Amino acid sequence: MSLLTPDPGLLFWMLLCFLIVAFILGKWGWPAIVGMIEDRGNYIEESLKKADEANAALAGIKAENERLAAEAKNERLEMLKEATKLKEKMIEDAKTQATVEANKIIENAKESIQLEKDNAVKEIRSQVAEISVNIAERIIRGELKSNESQIDMINKLLDEVNIAKS
Amino acid sequence: MSQSINNTFSKTGKLIFGILLVVLCFLGIIAFTSNSEESKGELNVKEMIFSHIGDAYNWHITTIGKQHISIPLPCIVIGQNGLDIFCSSKLGHEGHYTEYKGYTIAEEGSNAGKIVEVSTGERPIDISITKNVVSLLISCALLLIIFLSIAKKYKKNGFCKPTGLQAILEPLIVSLHDDIIKPSIGKNYKKFTWYLLTVFFFIFINNLLGIIPIFPGGANLTGNIAITFVLAALTFLLTNLFGTKGYWKEIFNPDVPIGLKCPLPIMQFIEFLGIFTKPIALCIRLFANMFAGHVMVLVLIGLIFVFSQLNVIAGLGFSFVSVLLVVFMSLLECLVCFIQAYVFMTLSALFIGMAQVEEEHE
């Protein structure tokens, strides 16, 4: 039966056409297609891996950032604390200094007041002495108008000296 | 709301489609019965089937009344007078063939339907562009257009997302390449990728063209033994030409009890026979499957006319059954188209892979 006997003309054309098609596709078709699909697969795989790595790195950076932020915060707190302490100390110092200064001024003032007072007292004393000498002179002049009274006086004084000697 | 509109639309759509089908069937029967009354010819179903699945020198499209509408194709023959190229319409058409340049088409005998030399009745060397060759050329052109355009797209788009035809075929190519070719053949798979992928898509596209009933399709190419023979022969050549030492050792000195191979080379004989039976099985399987599919569809269509020759009502009645069965068969054929291409390629890959065994493994 002709169904089961291959026709030579068709065999010839089939062989020719199929080999040409297979050659052309084998040269310019399949390698490009399959190669590109494989390359793309590799590329995607690599990209995913890289993305994972980048994510991990990012997480690391984030943690680092958080750590740094926390550190900065602590430092700031410490600085604030220190500044407060410094402020307090300064105020304290200023206070003490002011007290010392005030005390000194008060002392000086007291000293000068004492000095003035002493001077005044001294002056008063000398004046009082002068005045009393004057008064005494006048009294004595009044009393020594007669000779007898002068001799009495002398005697009295001599007695006083003797008493003082003995 | 829109769903109910959709539903009613699809219902009316189905109704219209059904009515159309009935009218068409009815018209067909009337046309056929009136025609057959005129010509008084009885339909020879066997002849009809074989003329549809066989090869021809022209591509018959349809017959309206008595007017044959067909595409004449070039005949190329090398006979006693050397090379002759002429148009197939010069030889007349079915029923009354005429003589041209000393050639005619034999009416009967072993060369029936083929170009013979008038003087001797012998076959010249005939490399005419027949219906099957045209179909072959169309499918080859389709293959080249499709896959070269895809390859170009891959080169142009680079790593971009595939689009269009590329996106449709990529999963198929990837699965064939990664799941069949690579694991079946092993590390040398790159040497055979071109053949296996081409074979798959060649068979697939020709199978699909074969089930399209009108012009660019309809030729029964993969159901022709010459085509499957060439494909199987190429598988045979690739298997044996690239066979490794381990492969030949398994054939001529298989690893079986000594009694099976020493006094009488039974195993060697079986293994050696296997070299040839494997590709022959490939050849026959594809041929028989596609051939049978076409015959089934044609028989079912032919039954309409057989019944309507008995009675118009019987023909009309059977046409419903027949159309349903043909629709079912065609859907089944779509599946078979893919399966046969897949099986041919998978088995080719396995045979080639078996010939790639390395000695240290076995």
pLDDT tens, residue by residue, B49-72: 777 777 778 787 777 777 777 787
Greater pLDDT, B89 or B36: B89
Contact B225 A30 (CB under 8 A): no
The mean pLDDT value of chain B amounts to 80
The letter for the amino acid at B70 is S
Interface test with A, best of B53, B169, B227 (most A CBs within 10 A): B227
Structural domain contains residue A15:
no
pTM for this model (two decimals): 0.72
Angstrom distance (rounded) from CA B359 to CA B291: 41
Number of domains in chain A: 1
Tally C-beta pairs within 8 A across A and B: 120
**Distances in whole angstroms, Cα of residue B288 to Cα of each of B168, B296, B340:** 29, 12, 10
B193 has a pLDDT exceeding 60? yes
What confidence tier does B43 reach under pLDDT thresholds 50, 70, 90?
Answer: low
Do residues B360 and B302 make contact, with C-beta atoms less than 8 angstroms apart? no
Contact A36 B155 (CB under 8 A): yes
- Please tell me which residue, B252 or B9, carries the higher pLDDT value: B252
Nearest to B159 among A14, A23, A43 (CB): A43
Task: Kindly tell me if the per-residue pLDDT of B137 is higher than 80.
Answer: yes
User: Distance (Å, rounded) from C-alpha B308 to C-alpha B31?
Assistant: 11
Instruction: Indicate the pLDDT class of residue B1, thresholds 50, 70 and 90.
Output: very low
Residues from chain B that touch A12, judged by Cβ atoms under 8 A, are 127
Region B282-308: mean pLDDT is 86
Whether the per-residue pLDDT at B2 is higher than 60: the answer is no
Average pLDDT for B239-250? 84
Which position has the higher pLDDT, B33 or A101? A101
Q: A4 in a domain, yes or no?
A: no
What was the pLDDT predicted at B316?
82
Q: Which domain range does residue A106 map to?
A: 23-165
Q: What confidence tier does B26 reach under pLDDT thresholds 50, 70, 90?
A: low
Please judge whether B198 and A39 are an interchain contact, meaning their C-beta atoms are less than 8 angstroms apart.
Answer: no
Residue B27 has pLDDT above 70, yes or no: no
pLDDT at residue A71, as a whole number: 95
Whether A37 and chain B come into contact, CB under 8 Å, resolves to yes
Angstroms from B359 CA to nearest CA on chain A: 29
A115 part of a folded domain: yes
Residue B23 in this model has a pLDDT that exceeds 70: no
Instruction: Please indicate, yes or no, if residue A161 is contained in any of the structural domains.
Output: yes
DSSP B100: B
Please tell me the predicted confidence (pLDDT) of residue B222: 86
Rg of the Cα atoms in chain A = 65
CA A42 to chain centroid: 58
Residues of chain A found within 8 Å of residue B148, distances taken between Cβ atoms = 24-25, 28-29
Q: State the pLDDT at residue A108.
A: 92
Q: What percent of chain B has pLDDT over 70?
A: 86
Question: Higher-confidence residue: B144 or B59?
Answer: B144
For residue B204, which of B290, B133, B281, B288 has the smallest C-alpha distance?
A: B290
Dihedrals φ, ψ of B118, to 5°? -65, -40
Chain A residues whose beta carbon lies within 8 Å of the beta carbon of residue B197? 25, 30, 34
Contacts of A36 in chain B (CB under 8 A): 154-155, 158
Instruction: Identify whether the C-beta of residue B31 lies closer than 8 Å to the C-beta of residue B319.
Output: no
Highest mean pLDDT among A68-82, B28-42, B187-201, B330-344: A68-82
Test B226 with A30 for CB contact under 8 angstroms: no
Query: What residues contact residue B308 under an 8 Å CB cut-off, 6+ apart?
Result: B29, B32, B33, B314, B315, B316, B318, B319
Residue range A82-93, pLDDT digits in tens: 999 999 999 999
Distance from the Cα of B227 to chain A's closest Cα (Å) equals: 6
Judged by CB atoms closer than 8 Å, whether chains meet at B198 and A17 is answered as: no
**Is residue B34 over pLDDT 50?**
no
Contact B173 A34 (CB under 8 A): yes
The whole-number pLDDT of residue B21 equals 61
Q: What is the mean pLDDT of residues A16-24?
A: 90
Cα separations in angstroms, B158 against A41, A50, B150, B161, B312: 12, 20, 12, 9, 62
**pLDDT for res B359:** 60
**Res B296 pLDDT > 80:** yes
For residue A8, give the nearest of B138, B54, B221, B225 by alpha carbon: B225
Among B45, B51, B76, B53, smallest CA distance to B225 is for B53
Q: Is residue A68 part of a domain?
A: yes
pLDDT at residue B39 in the model: 43
Indicate yes or no: CB of B230 within 8 angstroms of CB of A9: no
User: Which residue of A lies nearest to B128 if distances are taken between CA atoms?
Assistant: A9
> CA–CA separation, A149 vs A152, rounded Å?
5
Predicted complex ipTM? 0.80
Q: Does the structure show a pLDDT above 90 at B88? A: no
pLDDT at residue number B11: 66
Within-domain flag for A13: no
Does the beta-carbon distance from A30 to B147 stay under 8 Å?
yes
The arrangement of strands across the sheet holding B82-87 comes to B82-87, B74-79, B125-126
Give the best residue of A3, A7, A20 to mutate against chain B (max B CB count within 10 A): A7
Is there a domain that residue A3 lies in?
no
User: Bridge partners of B104?
Assistant: B116
CB B209 within 8 A of CB B135: yes
Look at the block and give the residue holding tokens 């007041």: A113
Which helix (H) or strand (E) covers residue B328, if one does?
Answer: helix B312-354
Beta bridge partners of B79: B82
Instruction: Give the pLDDT confidence of A24-80 residue by residue, as tens digits.
Output: 988 888 888 888 888 888 989 999 999 999 999 999 999 999 999 999 999 999 999
Angle at B201 between CA B200 and CA B203, to 5 degrees: 70
CA angle at residue B200 from B195 to B203, to 5 degrees?
Answer: 115
For A29, the closest of B147, B230, B234 (CB atoms) is: B147
With an 8 Å Cβ cutoff, are B227 and A14 in contact?
A: yes
- The torsion angles phi and psi of B116, rounded to 5 degrees, stand at -130, 160
Interface touch A18/B158, C-beta < 8 Å: no
CA distance B342 to chain A (A): 17
- B226 vs A34: CB contact, 8 Å cut-off? no
Residues B233-237, mean pLDDT to the nearest whole number:
91
> Looking at the complex, does the CB of residue A39 fall below 8 Å from at least one CB of chain B?
yes
Question: Which range (A14-23, B1-10, B52-61, B236-245) has the least confidence?
Answer: B1-10
Reduced to 3 states (helix: H, G, I; strand: E, B; else coil), residue B227 is helix
B57 to chain A, minimum CA–CA distance in Å?
Answer: 12
The predicted structure's pLDDT at residue B153: 85
H or E segment to which residue B64 belongs: strand B58-64
Q: Which two tokens stand for residue B255?
A: 């690893």
Asked if the structure places residue A5 within a domain, the reply is no
Tokens of B291: 């051939």
Yes or no, beta carbons of B202 and A13 under 8 Å apart:
no
Mind listing the pLDDT tens digit for each residue in A96-153? 999 999 999 999 999 999 999 999 999 888 888 888 888 888 887 777 777 888 888 8
